[in-house]
Amino acid sequence: KKKAAPKVQNETARVIYERLGDEVLTTPARVERRGTTPCLFGKGGTCCRVCNMGPCQVVEGVEELRGVCGASAATVVARNFGRMVAGGASAHSDHGRQVAIDFYETVHGETPFEVKDKRKLRVVAQALGVNPDQEEQALLQEMAEAALRVFNQQEGEIPLLNRAPEKRKQLWRELGVWPRGVDREVVELLHRTTIGVDQDHRNIFMACARTALADGWGGSMIATEFQDLLFGNPGPIKARVNIGLSVIREDMVNVAVHGHEPVLAEALAIAASDPEIVEEAKKVGAKGVNLAGICCTGNEVLMRRGIPVAGSFLQQEAAIATGALEAVVVDVQCIMQNVAEIARHFHTAVITTNPRARMEGAIHIEFDARKALECAKQILREAIARFPKRDKSRVDIPDHSVDVVVGFSHETILYMLGGRFRASYKPLNENIINGKILGVAAIVGCDNFRVDEEVHVELAKELIANNVLVLTTGCAATGLGRAGLLRPEAAELAGDSLREVLEAVGCPPVLHMGSCVDNSRILIAATEMVNTGGLGEDISDLPAVGCAPQWMSEKAITIGQYFVASGATVVFGPDFPTLKSQVATDFLFHEMERIFGAGWRVARKAGEFAAIMIDHIQAKRKALGIDK
Ligand code: NFS
């Protein structure tokens, strides 16, 4: 007899889990078994595990409950926060480095890829401090070397931060937080947070700002820009998100691409339409090979190719439990260990492809960009071989997929809002100044079974109803897509004046800007708004705010810290990892505000998020003298 499925707000996952019953332990079932509160001690940030005299439980204000070494709660919290920032920065940046390597190999003729986006070449060259006026091949090679230097440079300044507004650059220099090189900042932050090194929470948090800036304006920005160069700059494109019959096909070999680095998915997309592979799929009774994305790889191929996204982070198990996936192909990041467990109950192969991420129960087919198509074909053949083993009686694909319009890179916004002949942010700024658009809000980050899923959707609806234009990335974007908010028709939910602006250009009220590394696009868009004029001199003057209501990964903390250090206030979801030290939390929430002109906030319910964000936007409008 089957037990009731665990409570899941995500309707699609719920339907699938219900069928699965207690056949296999799923993530929401694990959450339910553990209770809704995470480890009470660890969650406030005061559990110190950096040496073997502990682990120590530290309680703020209780002398006997300092660490054995005397560490205070503020120090321990700052150290743990710093280690999250270093972890998150390392993930985005190791991804960025791989893209830089792929680019290097490509421009040296070693991969089957080519540089697709020539329009952007010069812009990126300039941002890297490379002279754009030179013969193309020499330019490409110099850019590849400059991109790699962003990671291994030991002294000086990461050049990409020069793209920021003048005032911000001055501030970073005065504060000494301009990062030198990504690897150096990550290593130094890990060093400073080990036993007996940096004990001043302020000093640690400033180092966190420097490391986070190395991610946002360094590693992540390299990932975004060089992926655009290699695979194309996203433009508006129609597609579908969520599990459904047009996303996971009953008559095709279904391959889910899950993880983060799009080079693998790009190769699979090319191989899937190779006549040889199509023929092989037909031989086993399928019409061909169908790709569907999960997590940020999904966002990457959605933005550039219109390949549908089957699911965000919290739907990865559900996609497999449809019983119709022949393979889940993974590379790095956000792949739950439970994926292999769920797959074991079906005919689905889990295929790992990256030497940095192996999984028990998976088949390993190493992906090498230099042999991209051979590797991709080998992977697809493994999937094709599974098709005859699909048990049709166990296939259940709830038809929940929804239309979306995506592809709002910073350049797209420029052209959509500014028009092809005078591509600029001027119309956006003007509409903010005249009050038609109240301000801009970014809803980014993960989804998380411990937080009410509706928070993203309710918040977005509330913001657009108040004439706030919403930008989105990552798994939050997939959730907003599921709710239908990435369709131009959703403009009808916007306040009258925002609606008028959106309908004139045919834009959805929520603009999907890409994966999590693509938060770097938001930094560029914000800078462009400052440079366009009329909205102050720095990012911290803009009527703009960010949030990550369902954050779960360390990467989200790094993103929050680089937004704040760049002048954009952020509101994060509950269980913030510093809350057990008032002293440390005050630094992030208030002192950073004085230093960087932006700070952290926390909220739980959609209404709380909306109130904080709209108040913030209104306060900025008032300071600019454009409130009415
Ligand atoms: Ni971002 Fe993307 Fe999703 Fe969160 Fe994970 S996939 S890099 S970390 S869960 S948004």
* Atom of ligand 1 minimally distant from the CA of 473: 10
pLDDT of residue 43: 85
Q: List, in order, residues 6 or more apart from 34 with CB less than 8 Å away.
A: none
Q: What is the pLDDT of residue 237?
A: 96
**The ligand 1 atom nearest the CA atom of 334:** 5
pLDDT at 199: 98
Q: Which helix (H) or strand (E) holds 37?
A: none
Residue in 214, 156, 205, 161 with CA at minimum distance from that of residue 183: 214
Report the complex ipTM: 0.95
Cα 326 to Cα 396: distance, rounded to the nearest angstrom: 14
Contact in structure between 111 and 578 (CB atoms under 8 Å): no
With a 6 Å cutoff on the Cβ, whether 475 touches ligand 1 is yes
Residues of the chain with pLDDT under 70: 1-9, 36, 419-421
Q: Whose CA is nearest to atom 1 of ligand 1?
A: 516
Task: Please tell me if the CB atom of residue 115 comes closer than 6 angstroms to any atom of ligand 1.
Answer: no
Residue 529 · residue 535 · CB < 8 Å: yes
Using a 6 Å cutoff on CB, does residue 313 contact ligand 1? yes
What pLDDT does 7 receive? 62
Check if 334 has its Cβ closer than 6 Å to any atom of ligand 1. yes
What single letter denotes the amino acid at residue 248? I
Position in ligand 1 atom list of the atom nearest CA 312: 3
Distance (Å) of CA 322 to CA 310, 419, 597: 11, 43, 48
Helix locations, 108-181, DSSP H: 121-127, 136-152, 166-175
Does ligand 1 have an atom closer than 6 angstroms to the CB of 367?
Answer: no
At 452 the pLDDT is: 82
239: left (phi over 0), alpha (psi -120 to 50) or beta: beta
pLDDT tens digits for 541-557?
A: 999 999 999 999 999 99
What is the rounded distance in angstroms from the CA atom of residue 273 to the CA atom of residue 275? 6
From atom 6 of ligand 1, which residue's Cα is the shortest distance away? Answer: 295
Per-residue model confidence (pLDDT) at position 293: 98
Q: Whose CA is nearest to atom 10 of ligand 1?
A: 446
